[in-house]
Structures are given as C-alpha cells and as structure tokens.
Amino acid sequence: MVTKDTTAIALINAQLLDPTSDSPTPGGIVIRDGLIEQISGDLRRNAPKGATVIDCGGHILAPGLVDMLVYTGVPGKEHRETLATASQAALAGGVTSMVCMPNTEPVIDDVALVDYIKRHATDPGYIHIYPMAAVTKGLRGNEMTEIGLLKQAGAIAFTNGKDSIPNAKMMRMVLSYAKDFGALIVHFTEDNDLADPGVMNEGLVSSRLGLPGRPVEAEIITLERDIRLVELTGCRYHAAQISCAQSLEIIRKAKAKNLPITCGVSVNHLTLNENDIGSYRTFFKMRPPLRTEDDRVALVAGVKDGTIDVVVSAHDPKDADVKRRPFEQASDGAIGLETMLPALLRLYHSGDLTLSEIFRVVSHNPANRLGLKTGQLKVGYPADLVLFDPMTPWIVDPSLLHSKSKNTPYDNERMQGRVLRTFVAGRELYRYS
C-alpha cells in the first residue's frame, strides 16, 4: 500500500475562488488521488507531512473551466486541430473539461463515432473531453439519430451543429423523444432561410461594406419557437449561443415560467462587436455573427444578472486556407480555448463582472447543466483546478498559441491575466514558463 502522504499535493498560499461564493478567500487545497481532499484557510502549517507543497504565490485558485462548445478537427479535419492540440490549448487557458461538437467528417451521429472520440480522449495528458452527438443524421435536420443509444455510449448532449432544425414539427419530435431519455438538447437558434446568404450582422456596417447581413430576427424567431416547443414537451433545452439583446428578453420570460431552459453566449460576443470587422477582417466572421455594441453591453448585463447561464469559447479552428479569403467566401469561426479566460478578465478589469460571476458561467453552471461533478471547490470533487494571476499583462502572439490553427480575433491584442498552472484530476498538466 502506498503511503498516503507521498501522493498528496498541497497548494498553499492561494486565493480560493469558489464560484458559489462571492469573493476569493485566502487558503489552500490538498489534493489526493485526483480529488480535493481538504480545503483550509491555513495550510501553511497544516499541510500533510510529505506532501508535495506548491506555493501559489497569492494568486487565484479556481475550479477549471468547463467549455461547453468546442469544435475540433476530429475526426476528418485533423490538420486544423487534434484532440492533443485542443487539449494543450485548453490547458494553457485553464480549461479542464470540454464538450466537442459533432460538426466533423463524418458527423458524430453514430454510436461508433461517439465511442471513437471517447477512446481517443483517454490519453492521461488530456483534459476531460466529452463528445456531443448530432441529434439528426448528418446534421441534415430531417431524421432523428439514435438518441438513446448515443446517450448510453457517452454522448453528453445533443445538437444540430451550427444549424437550427428548420422544421418545427421535426424539432417537436426531437424534443419529445429526447425528453424520455433526459437528454439535453443544445440548439443553435438561427433560421438559415432568413439569415442566408448573410455573412455578418445585418445593419449599418453591413450596408456600408456591401456585405449581405444576417438579421437578429433569424435568431429570435427560432428561439421563440423553440421555447414554445419546450413548453409543450418539457425537454431540457440549452440555447447554444445567443447573440443579441432581444434574445435575452425571450430567455427571461421563459425562465420566469420555470421552463427547463438555459442559454449560452460566446466570449467573443461579450468582448467584441461588428465594428471589429473593420475592413473585412475574416477572423471576426462568426456564426452567430458579432452584433452591435448595444447587444454586447446587453449580453454582459445578461451574464451579470444570471439570464445567461454559460459562456463558451466556441473554439473553432480554421486554417489560413479557408480564412484568408474575401470575407464572403471565408469560413466562419475563431479559436478561443486559450484566450477565453484572459478575454473574460477584461470584463473583470472593466468592473463589469466579478471573478465569481465569471467562474459561475465558465465553470460552475456548465458543469451543472451537463451533470458533471466539477466546477466547484468542494471536498470530494475532482481536483480540476486553474491557478491564475489576473494582473499579468501580455500580448497575444498567435504563433505562441497552442492551437494548431491560429485564427484568433485577439491577434496581437493586449490581455491582462494569465493562467499559471492547470490541474486535471489532481495532475498538473500545464505550467506557464
């Protein structure tokens, strides 16, 4: 039998940030067997004998981020991102769990493919990786997948990828059927019939640039419809990425009715707006598109007041090949795993959000919604932890980012706040040097 003391790690001299409390408190954590064994206000003297002691230097120790929306290139587009590179990027960003979207080649719409991801995700150097499965075959929106079997195989939630299910009857079927299995439906609410061939937010900027726009109505009409159907079916529903002020109103009303609804927003939509596109900068081309500054401000307020439950990176690696094109022809998507926390810290430094509010939406809430035992500093919970210094200034150099693709909208931007160490199930997998 291994003596207990040598397997323990004591993280001392930290500011402990538990998302369920209002502000960080000084203290330390003892990790053993991958779990949080002890949380103490005074570990300097009480650390278990023989334990590896790590001095946190007074920096902030928080539960690792749970990113509910990540695109990788696995399977089919490994030149953009592998599970290994995504994992490295995540670690450098303090993300300890991520959910992979099924927008792959082939689409993850079959038990064997869920199994494929699960088996490839077991490398001890990786963060926790959970596959989300397609809710319709090939993400085509017209034929349901085997939700029951997929869930048994390990699909953590179900989605139709970046596209909404256009047909209301099909959506009703999906929600009714998924409810029986307690499955979570993560839906993008943008009506492509209304939004296509738009490539950015419809508005004055699109008018001036001569680019076709995607109106906010495309998002809110589908969201309204979905909420009616959730009311009808009672299925657990998560609006994957809302992007405008009007969607917040709809979500607020639905929550007032106690419907099983949550919603997410990407870090990009909280920190950037359509003006960033400037002269056709394709790294700001996303779906849903970046909206106006008024929308951004409303979304930040939505995070603060709890209307928005989850913030995601919407990490979407794309190579230069598909990004360095005229705006209309360029692919959408931006990477974000590594920059999500630093970008959100801008909202901390600007006084818009507290650290607890940030960690609620990037760690505690998504873990809860997905039913994962993480996202809290709690004895008995897995030691998925991030140690960060919210003050360190740095400049984003795309060549130093760990992701295989470099399509970051924060290209050469100034950041304040940096991840120092990341622990996954008690093992230190990242240390900033």
Partner 1 sequence: MTIKKNKPAFRLSKPHLLSIEDLSRDDIMGLLDLAEQIANLDPHKGQKKEVLKGLTQINLFFESSTRTQSSFELAGKSLGANVMNMAVKSSSISKGETLIDTTMTLNAMRPDVLVVRHFAAGAVELLAQKVSCSVINAGDGSHQHPTQALLDALTIKRAKNRFEALTVAICGDILHSRVARSNIQLLSALNARVRIIAPSTLLPPFPERLGAEVFTSMEEGLKGADVVMMLRLQRERMNDTHVPSEREYFKFFGLDAEKLAFAKPDAIIMHPGPMNRGVEIDSIIADDPRSVIQEQVQMGVAVRMAVLESLSKRMHEQQQGTV
Binding site residues, partner 1, CB under 8 A = 196-197, 202-204, 206-213, 215, 279-280, 321, 324-329
Residue (327 or 348) nearer to partner 1, CB: 327
Q: CB-based contacts of 329: which residues, under 8 Å, 6+ apart?
A: none
If you ran DSSP here, which 8-state letter would residue 228 be given? H
Minimum distance, C-beta of residue 22 to partner 1, in the bound complex (Å):
42
Residue 20 to residues 24, 128, 299, 378, 424, Cα–Cα distance (Å):
10, 22, 21, 10, 20
Q: In this structure, are residues 117 and 129 in contact, taking their beta carbons and an 8 Å threshold? A: yes
Minimum distance, C-beta of residue 192 to partner 1, in the bound complex (Å):
12
Residue (206 or 422) nearer to partner 1, CB: 206
Give the DSSP letter string of 140-201: -SSSB--HHHHHHHT---EE-TTS----HHHHHHHHHHHHHTTPEEEE----HHHHTT--EE
Q: Are strands 65-70 and 60-63 parallel, antiparallel or unpaired?
A: unpaired
Minimum distance, C-beta of residue 210 to partner 1, in the bound complex (Å):
3
d(CA 198, CA 212): 4
d(CA 90, CA 84): 10
Residue (129 or 205) nearer to partner 1, CB: 205
Residue (274 or 384) nearer to partner 1, CB: 274
Give the DSSP letter string of 1-26: ---GGGG-EEEEEEEE--TTSSS-EE
Residue 272 to residues 220, 280, 289, 403, Cα–Cα distance (Å):
20, 15, 11, 21
Residue (215 or 366) nearer to partner 1, CB: 215
Residue (214 or 404) nearer to partner 1, CB: 214
Minimum distance, C-beta of residue 215 to partner 1, in the bound complex (Å):
8
Residue (122 or 329) nearer to partner 1, CB: 329
Chain mean position to CA 239: 13
Minimum distance, C-beta of residue 172 to partner 1, in the bound complex (Å):
27
Minimum distance, C-beta of residue 204 to partner 1, in the bound complex (Å):
4
- For 47, the token pair is 């650390």
Minimum distance, C-beta of residue 282 to partner 1, in the bound complex (Å):
8
Residue (149 or 209) nearer to partner 1, CB: 209
Minimum distance, C-beta of residue 379 to partner 1, in the bound complex (Å):
55
Segment holding 385, helix H or strand E = strand 385-395
Minimum distance, C-beta of residue 328 to partner 1, in the bound complex (Å):
5
Chain mean position to CA 124: 21
Residue (202 or 226) nearer to partner 1, CB: 202
The total of other beta-carbon atoms located within 10 Å of residue 180's CB is 11
